[in-house]
Structure 1
Amino acid sequence: MAESEIRDVFVAGLRNAHAMENQALSIMKPQLKRIENYPEVAEKLDRHIRETDGQIVRLEEILDGLDEDKSTLKDMVLSFTGSAAALGHAVAGDEILKNAFANFAFENYEAAAYKSLLAIAEAGGYGTATTGLQANLSEELAMAEWINGNLVALTTKFLSLRQSGETAKV
């Protein structure tokens, strides 16, 4: 593949990742506002929202270094779909569980995107981008691991709250 083609693929991937992170924010922020009975989830989600803000900054720095801008249209479209997905779970009786499942899947999707971007950066000789991309990847993997490690406890707490008649959704 020609160097210019690798660059095009890399820039498109960075723009997609930027939009993906904005979508993640549009999914997580409404969830955080609705959480009442799961302070450990709220704390982790709040921390990951701040990490996601940092991931967006890193992606913008990489794009700036390539003299490229983000895709505003992709950002808007994916943010809208993320908000719609978050609203869809809000009506479910087991919203907290559905959110955990969706977040786990999305964190792994994001990790896959960063692994791919790292491979493209290596193939294209964009070594200056790897530090930021690796940091983003590490944060996504850590969040996915946290969800994975806490899913049984979250489910057990959901069942306990539901059995005691307390609000179990969020």
Structure 2
Amino acid sequence: MSTTKIENYHSWLRDAHAMEKQAESMLSKMAGRLEHYPDLKARIEQHIEETKGQLELLQGVLDRNGVDNSTLKDTMGKMAAFGQAMGGMTADDEVVKGAISGYVFEQFEIASYTSLIAAAELAGDTEGARVFEQIRDQEVQMAEWCLTHLPGVTEQFLVRDAASGVEAKK
């Protein structure tokens, strides 16, 4: 039995909600550990607020379409974010790996919302498509910020790491 366009769209809505829950958890853990990178911490904290707004927008799309968000998917996403955060905590170059991972995750979100826009349009959910374009624009801005600032974060880490008695990791 094949899945309909609407069923796929609804499933992807749940996925997007779980993805944003994972992003919120992952970003919160990272921001909570950053001590020596104030620009990165500030931008991550700003994106946490954007992510919370995105979750509200997604919940509105879910509600309007009569779709319950998946508690299981949300929980699995949070567990994945926790595992990623724990793995990063043990790395000596956590801040650089975190910055790279953040950029990669933003690209994943951009691709996910690009797909959701097409699915929403085919499902006749023009309001959903508009919401996803708005969210995608925020993700593009964050990805651009990450890419632009990655060399600076890397340089800052390398300088701190080379200095005697200075913690560079976070």
Tell me if TM exceeds 0.5. yes
1:153 aligns with 152
Measured against aligned partners, the alpha-carbon deviations of 1:62-88 in whole angstroms (never above 9, x if no partner) come to 010011111111000111111110110
Q: Report the count of equivalent residues.
A: 168
Q: Matched residues in 2 for 1:155 and 1:19: separation?
A: 30
What value does the CA root-mean-square deviation take over the aligned residues? 1.2
Aligned twin of 2:87: 88
The residue number in structure 2 matching 1:43 is 42
What TM-score does the superposition give when structure 1 sets the normalisation length? 0.96
| Partner residue, 1:109 | 108
Within 2, Cα distance between the matches of 1:104 and 1:83? Answer: 18
Q: Is the 8 A contact 1:26 1:80 kept in 2?
A: no
Identical residues among aligned pairs (%): 35
Residue type at the aligned position of 2:43: K
Query: Equivalents in 1 of 2:123, 2:30: separation in Å?
Result: 38
| SS of corresponding position for 2:4 | helix
Runs of 4+ in 1 over 2 A off after TM superposition: none
The aligned counterpart of 1:17 is 16
Alignment gaps of 5+ in structure 1 = none
Offset of 1:26 from its aligned partner?
A: 1.6
- Show structure 2 runs of 5+ residues with no match: none
Question: Could you tell which deviates more after superposition, 89-98 or 122-131?
Answer: 122-131
Distance 1:23 1:51 in 2: 14
Partner residue, 1:168: 168
Give TM-score, length-normalised by structure 2. 0.96
